[in-house]
Structure 1
Amino acid sequence: MIALDDTDRALLRALAQDATQSAGALGRRLGLSQPAAWRRVRRLEQAGILAGRRIVVDRAALGFGVTVFLGIKLATKGRVSLEDFERAAMAIPEVQIVQHVLGMFDYRLRVVARDIGDFERVLRRRIMTLPGIGQVEANVLLTEERLPGPI
């Protein structure tokens, strides 16, 4: 792990707001030259701190108005491998995130759907047929106040 200074942290915050900024724009924003900003970004990439750049897609604008978080407890942990469950869950296009967690549930899934009827179809036809599925608890997302960014 590399030591981060205040400029590195400011650089991470700036990239979290807009990862498409050029090194020149980042430099102007942070009081650095373009080559210095580029070197810092490159150093953060090489250290694995910047692991990629993503675009944020407005799911509602694409017609996916419902997001549901599912807590899933496997029924038969010994008979079904975790990898089989994960592979099958990740193959469902509506499942955006598969997280193996500790606590009340074994997995947490983020599922998008066009509407509640569409979610019910995904739940019945795809999720409830996953290998080893046991208890399922659904929480419908009402609002999302903050998107994740750097720590």
Structure 2
Amino acid sequence: MTEPLNLDAADRAILRALVGDATLSASELGRRLGLSQPATWRRIRRLTDAGILKGRRLVLDREALGFGVTVFLGIKLAARGRPELEVFERAVCAIPEVQIVEHVLGLYDYRLRVTARDLPDFERVLRRRIMTLPGVGQVESNVLLSEERLPGPLG
């Protein structure tokens, strides 16, 4: 196991700024933080090489694209064992409406984030795609009403 990277105030400021706007260039970040462009670039490269920065993502407005319903599903598999997990994971990851697949410890084996156009569309995805997956046992749905906080920096 590798030793965690020691982050100083400048590293943390870079992370906070990139979480706010991942399109910022090293020169713009440097101007905002009082660092030179090369120093900022070296810090970004170090954070990337250490695995702290794992790429930059574009966040789409699901509602503006016509996907107005988000549902979290808890899925308990009917059978246990590594082969069943792998088969389920491959199959569920192939469903475009499934945005996030998390293998969790607790009441359920998996937690899914599913996006659909509306409730009838979600019902179609649930009945025709998710409930027919290999190994699916118990399923619990929770409809997202609002999202108050989006992920940000940990430190």
The TM-score with structure 2 as length reference comes to 0.94
Query: Is residue 64 from structure 1 mapped to residue 64 from structure 2 by the alignment?
Result: no
Where do 5+ consecutive residues of structure 2 fail to align? none
Do the aligned residues in 2 keep the contact of 1:80 with 1:132 (CA within 8 Å)? no
SS in 2 for 1:110: strand
What is the alpha-carbon root mean square deviation over aligned residues? 1.1
**Structure 2: distance between partners of 1:79 and 1:58:** 36
**Structure 1: distance between partners of 2:83 and 2:11:** 44
Question: Residue 77 of structure 1: CA displacement?
Answer: 1.6
Query: Is residue 97 from structure 1 mapped to residue 100 from structure 2 by the alignment?
Result: yes
Moved more, 35-44 or 115-124: 35-44
Question: Residue 79 of structure 1: CA displacement?
Answer: 9.1
Where do 5+ consecutive residues of structure 1 fail to align? none
Do the aligned residues in 2 keep the contact of 1:73 with 1:104 (CA within 8 Å)? yes
Question: Residue 81 of structure 1: CA displacement?
Answer: 1.5
Do the aligned residues in 2 keep the contact of 1:80 with 1:131 (CA within 8 Å)? no
The TM-score with structure 1 as length reference comes to 0.97
Question: Residue 2 of structure 1: CA displacement?
Answer: 1.3
Moved more, 125-134 or 70-79: 70-79
2:42 maps to: 39
Change (3 A) 1:14 1:78: closer
1:5 maps to: 8
CA deviation string 1:4-32 (max 9, x = no partner): 00110010000000011011110111111
**Structure 1: distance between partners of 2:22 and 2:5:** 21
1:128 maps to: 131
**Structure 2: distance between partners of 1:136 and 1:79:** 20
SS in 2 for 1:89: helix
**Structure 1: distance between partners of 2:49 and 2:135:** 39
**Structure 1: distance between partners of 2:72 and 2:144:** 7
Aligned match for 1:83, one of 76, 82, 86: 86
Do the aligned residues in 2 keep the contact of 1:13 with 1:150 (CA within 8 Å)? yes
**Structure 2: distance between partners of 1:54 and 1:78:** 33
